A and B are shown apart, each in its own frame.
Chain A
Amino acid sequence: MRRPGVWFGWTTILAVVAVVASPIVVLAWSLIDPSTNVWAELWRTRLPGMIIETALLLVSVVFGAVVFGTGLAWLVSAFEFPARRVVGWLLVTPLAIPGYVGGFVWLETMSDVVGAREARSLWLCAVVLVLSLYPYVYLFARASFVDQGEDSLAVARSLGAGKAGVFFRVALPAARPAIAAGAALVAMETLTDIGTVRLFNVSTLADGVMRVWFGTGDLGAATELASALTGAAVLLITFERLLRSGGRRSRGSTEAAMNPRPLTKAGVVAAIAVTLAMLVIAVGIPLLRLFFWASESVRAGTAVTVAGGVTHHLGNTMLLAGSAAVVSIVVGTILALTVAHRGRVARVVGRISTVGYAMPGPVVAVGAVVMLAALDRRGWLPDGFLLVGSVAGLVFALVVRFLAVGYQGVEASLDRVPTTATESARVLGAGPVRTAVAIELPAARFGVMAAFALLCVDMVKELPITLLLRPFGVDTLSVWVWQATSESLWEQAAVPSLVMVVIGMFAVGALLVALERGAELVS
């Protein structure tokens, strides 16, 4: 059958994929000729240590996030206790607190307890990252638990599985793919993090890329390190794919969603204590300390930088993060709609556009700079206008990095639109564009909303790309926090941190509403 708009569709897909994947391709190209002396020097000095610290941090953060994310998800989906629903939502809110914000709060707090030197440890860094990243695992695991449905758990019980048996023998193995997906996000965030690890003096590969760039300005060496980082990311993705394979089952059409079981009195107390402790540690204490510091800072008149006050930074964050999020969701939605129902090939090609998400931020930044600089040298743009160091260049790099969040989120919800609905629309005379606008988009609207909310969270707290590519004099909230905390000026970092957390809370709220209305996180 000849589909109308075939050429238009494929042109769109290929154009988006080409533009978005180009920085990565450029980077790969530059690796064909590695500068061996830089490499040898790195290998002789810092690289082994970086690899070990990266691996240690990665393993402990992923382990912690999986244990807490999965455990809490099971608690709120399988058992009934007072305020279960509210707690279930609140447990997602740590997502609004960037790791480096929670990081400096806990660094200062623990410095008072164990001393400043001891507080700057890999282990405390891991704890802080777990606190800010476990919600990814939590969200995925909870969705999977609820979707397993009542019947298979009932059968397991009738076959002799008690409370623990139902969890370890049925619910947990069945949720493995979802947990793996959440854990992969946590791993990626950890691998890419530069703000938190810098606070705790943990020298990871991502940190190395930043240091080499800032310290020596040697793009070649930074690229070498970036490739090592990319290697680690690729390994992670492969590992996640392996974990995801195997049989799976989701709830049947006539089967009820998981029904929480009542707990004993002691169980209720324990459930409330555990969730409350998590909320106090991950959200309560950081917020309280930030409020305290922020008011001190305002009173002392230090809530301002050379670049300007809160409004200046907030305005820049809104402009940069906002436009990058809008571009990502628009392009992501168009791409998802174009790819939908176009078959496997289109899907695989579409996936290429998500490559940036698998790349650590500093790597994307390096790739974008290399590519934009090459374009600038061609002199195609009007005199005096350069892409490197422009708002457009920064937004481009951010979109390359995060397009996947928009694309995959929308795709997951589009997958749930029954083919019969779109086919009915076509038979009734609607062309592909009208079908997309009138049928698919409305059906996936909460998926779009959830994806946009996640994009906002990611963009607002993004550090490495913004730091490396921001135009001169355009500082965002995250840059302010970075600059203040790298000089241990906690109080001065409090005001921008608090503003970021508030934006993040709104985004998390929107995400929760979207999920409640049936948005899907993964396909």
Chain B
Amino acid sequence: MMYALEAAGLRVHFADREVLAGVDIAVSPGELVTLVGPSGCGKSTLLRAIAGLRAVHEGRVSLSGVDVTNLPAEKRRVGLVFQDNALFGHLRVEGNVAFGLRHLPKNERRQRVAEVLELVKLGHLARRYPHQLSGGEQQRVAVARALAPKPAVVLLDEPFGALDEVLREELGWEIREILTKQNTAAILVTHDRHEAITLGDRVAVMGGGKILQCAPPREVYERPINRFVADFLAVASYVKTESGVEELVRPHQLRVSAGGRHKVLRVEFLGATSRYTIKAADGSLLISDVGPTEQLAVGAACSVEVLRG
């Protein structure tokens, strides 16, 4: 099968700092890859390099099997969505969506605009100006505008960063569905780890200008390739096994019981569960979401048990 996007060995440096140190990533049609990593790790640079907005010093970018490494941004046909939506304020919603459709005859263009606006459920707002829309609506227009020319891949740079939590979750799922329906590949940069593992078909974790791991959410969550990835993606504890190897344990895999050599340091009420932060006898910190029915008090003695399966 042909990848919608394939980038190999991308290197970019500013002065003597390597921002991309050889990045490989491939995304299939209809697949959504979420991209996470600490700030300054090169996420945005990677998107800009794929879009052709940033020259790469080494490496290749192919879209639907065509090498576009030497093509300027305007010839690549990549969809872009930014956190600040970057809508063209002087154009109406329909004008924004039609911007990338100049190659189409007028009636086909109008038809495609209507089609894409229907997709993001904004058909009734076509005649409005961007500043007359809510934040969520603006972001939908930005997505519609990016999708209109049927790009091989859509790159979303923290598209929900400026929205409130309820809206972000809702919009996230909606956009995921739209992308799947259109069979469009996408890379979504986010700083929300929860969003990364719930929305992505695969999660890519970046650090130091490289993609450290790119795999389905469950795999990255349960079998991170190193401690950096493990800690970055979610809360983790490390428990020494009998053989002396440190084993990764997620909070739902650790049960706390009253009485023992450890001590409860903090209790956070999370709603359905309570999260215990425990100071182990050897001084390490353990985090558990599985406690006894009767809550333990801070300072109480306790013991832990790793749950398998």
State the A residues within 8 Å of B (CB). 149, 151-152, 154-162, 165, 169-170, 173-174, 176, 246-249, 251-255
Q: State whether the Cβ of B124 lies closer than 8 Å to any Cβ in chain A.
A: no
- Report the stretch among B17-25, B78-86, B271-279, B289-297 that lies at the interface: B78-86
Does B80 lie within 8 Å of A248, measured CB to CB?
no
Question: Could you tell me the distance in whole angstroms from the C-beta of B133 to the nearest C-beta in chain A?
Answer: 11
Q: Please give, as numbers and ranges, the residues of chain A lying within 8 Å of B29 by CB-CB distance.
A: none
- List chain B residues, Cβ under 8 A from A160: 74-75, 77, 100, 102-103, 149
- Please encode chain B, from 145 to 169, with 1 for each CB lying within 8 Å of some chain A CB and 0 for all others: 1100101000000100110000000
Question: Is B89 an interface residue, CB under 8 A from the partner?
Answer: yes
A165 to B88, alpha carbons, bound, how many Å?
A: 13
State the CA gap A247–B79 with chains docked (Å): 23
Contact B82 A151 (CB under 8 A): yes
The answer to whether residues A247 and B80 also contact, given A154-B51, A159-B145, A161-B74 and a CB cut-off of 8 A, is: no
Known: A159-B100, A160-B102, A247-B129. A176 touches B90 (CB 8 A): yes
The answer on a CB contact under 8 Å between B73 and A249 is no
- Which residues in B have their C-beta under 8 angstroms from that of A149? 84, 86
Which chain A residue has the least Cβ–Cβ distance from B90?
Answer: A173
Report the separation of the CA atoms of residues A132 and B146 in the bound assembly, to the nearest whole angstrom: 44
Cβ contact of A248, chosen from B73, B76, B90, cutoff 8 A = B90
B87 within 8 A of A: yes
CA distance A170 to B90 in the complex (A): 8
A–B Cβ pairs within 8 angstroms, 13 of them? A155-B146, A156-B88, A157-B52, A157-B73, A157-B74, A173-B88, A173-B91, A174-B88, A176-B90, A247-B130, A249-B88, A252-B84, A252-B86
User: For B91, what are the chain A residues with a Cβ–Cβ distance below 8 Å?
Assistant: 173, 247
Our pick among B73, B88, B130 for the contact of A158 (Cβ within 8 Å) is B73
CA distance A290 to B268 in the complex (A): 79
Cα distance A174–B129 in the bound complex, in angstroms: 13
CA distance A255 to B130 in the complex (A): 17
Residues of A within 8 A of B88 (CB): 152, 156, 170, 173-174, 249
Seed contacts A149-B86, A160-B74; 14 additional CB < 8 Å A-B pairs:
A154-B53, A154-B82, A156-B99, A157-B72, A158-B53, A158-B100, A159-B100, A161-B99, A169-B99, A170-B88, A247-B91, A247-B131, A249-B89, A254-B158
**A519, chain B: closest CB distance, angstroms:** 23
Q: Which of B34-64 contact A (CB under 8 A)?
A: 48, 51-53
The answer on a CB contact under 8 Å between A158 and B90 is no
A439 to B: closest C-beta gap in Å: 27
CA distance in complex: A253, B90 (Å): 19
Chain B residues near A (Cβ < 8 Å): 48, 51-53, 72-80, 82-92, 99-100, 102-103, 129-131, 142, 145-146, 149, 151, 158, 161-162
A160 to B73, CA, bound (A): 7
CB distance from B113 to the nearest CB of A (A): 13
Q: Which residues from B are CB-within-8-Å of A253?
A: 84
Knowing A157-B73, A247-B129, the reply to whether A152 touches B90 (Cβ < 8 A) is no
Q: How far is the CA of A154 from the CA of B73 in the complex (A)?
A: 8
With both beta carbons as reference points, the residue of chain A lying nearest to B76 in the complex is identified as A158
In contact, B73 and A252 (Cβ under 8 angstroms): no
Of A159, A247, A251, which is in contact with the most chain B CB atoms at under 10 Å from its CB? A159
A249 to B100, CA, bound (A): 19
Q: How far is the CB of B86 from chain A (nearest CB, A)?
A: 4
Establish whether residues B77 and A154, one from each chain, have CB atoms under 8 Å apart when the complex forms: no
B90, A246: Cβ atoms under 8 Å? yes
Complex-state Cα separation, A509 to B92, whole angstroms? 40
Find chain B residues with CB under 8 A from A255 CB. Answer: 82-84, 86
Cα-based distance from A165 to B102 in the complex (angstroms): 11
- Give, as a whole number of angstroms, the nearest-CB distance from B297 to chain A: 39
How far is A252 from B135 in the complex, measured between Cα atoms in Å? 12
Neighbouring B residues of A176 by C-beta, 8 Å: 90
Query: Which residues of chain A are near B149, meaning CB under 8 Å?
Result: 159-160
A89 to chain B, nearest CB (A): 26
Closest to A157 in B: B73
- Closest chain A CB from B195 CB (angstroms): 17
Instruction: Give the most central of A154, A165, A253, A255: most B CB within 10 Å.
Output: A154
> 7 nearest interchain CB pairs?
A252-B84, A249-B89, A159-B100, A247-B129, A151-B86, A157-B73, A152-B86
B83 to A254, Cβ gap below 8 A?
Answer: yes
A152 and B48 contact, Cβ closer than 8 Å, known pairs A158-B80, A160-B149: no
Of A155, A161, A173, A247, which is within 8 A of B86 by CB?
Answer: A155
A residues less than 8 Å from B151 (CB atoms): 158
Closest to B84 in A: A252
Output the least CB separation between A260 and chain B (Å): 13
Residues of A within 8 A of B86 (CB): 149, 151-152, 154-155, 252, 255
Residues of chain B within 8 A (CB-CB) of A161 are 74, 99
Closest to A154 in B: B53
Contact of B74 with A252 in the complex, beta carbons under 8 Å: no
Which A-chain residue is minimally distant from B128 (CB atoms)? A247
Residue of B75, B80, B129, B130 near A154 (CB, 8 A) is B80
Q: Which of B48, B80, B131 has the most chain A CB within a 10 Å cutoff?
A: B80
**B83, B89, B103, B142, most chain A CB atoms within 10 A:** B89
How far apart sit A154 and B142, CA to CA, in the bound complex (Å)? 13
Q: Are A155 and B77 in contact (CB under 8 A)?
A: no
Pairwise interchain contact B74-A165, C-beta atoms closer than 8 A: yes
- With both beta carbons as reference points, the residue of chain A lying nearest to B83 in the complex is identified as A254
Output the nearest chain B residue to A159 by Cβ-Cβ distance. B100
A154 partner residues in chain B, CB cutoff 8 A: 48, 51, 53, 73, 80, 82, 86
Question: How far is B103's CA from A105's CA once the two chains are assembled, in angstroms?
Answer: 51
**Would you give the shortest CB distance from B75 to chain A, in whole angstroms?**
8
B145–A155 CB distance below 8 A: yes
Chain A residues within 8 Å of B129, by CB: 246-247
Using known A-B contacts A154-B48, A252-B84, determine if residue A247 contacts B89 with beta carbons closer than 8 Å: yes
Given the complex of chains A and B, what is the CA–CA distance between A246 and B145 in angstroms?
20
- Least distance between B95 CB and chain A CB atoms (Å): 10
- CB-based contact A254/B73 at 8 Å: no
Contacts of A247 in B (CB 8 A): 89-92, 129-131
Instruction: Provide the residues of chain B in CB contact with A252, threshold 8 Å.
Output: 82-86, 162
- Please indicate the chain B residues that have their CB under 8 angstroms from the CB of A157 in the complex: 51-53, 72-74
- Report Cα–Cα, A254/B88, bound state, in Å: 16
Distance of A416 Cα from B130 Cα, bound (Å) = 22
In the complex, what residue of chain A is closest to B154 when comparing beta carbons? A158
In whole Å, how far is A319's beta carbon from the nearest beta carbon of chain B? 47
Of B51, B90, B99, which one neighbours A174 at CB under 8 angstroms?
Answer: B90
**Chain B contacts of A170 at CB under 8 A?**
88
* A255 and B158 alpha carbons, distance in the complex (Å): 12
When distances are taken between beta carbons in the complex, the residues of chain A under 8 Å from B78 are 158
Contact of B53 with A159 in the complex, beta carbons under 8 Å? no
Contact status B161-A254, CB under 8 Å: yes
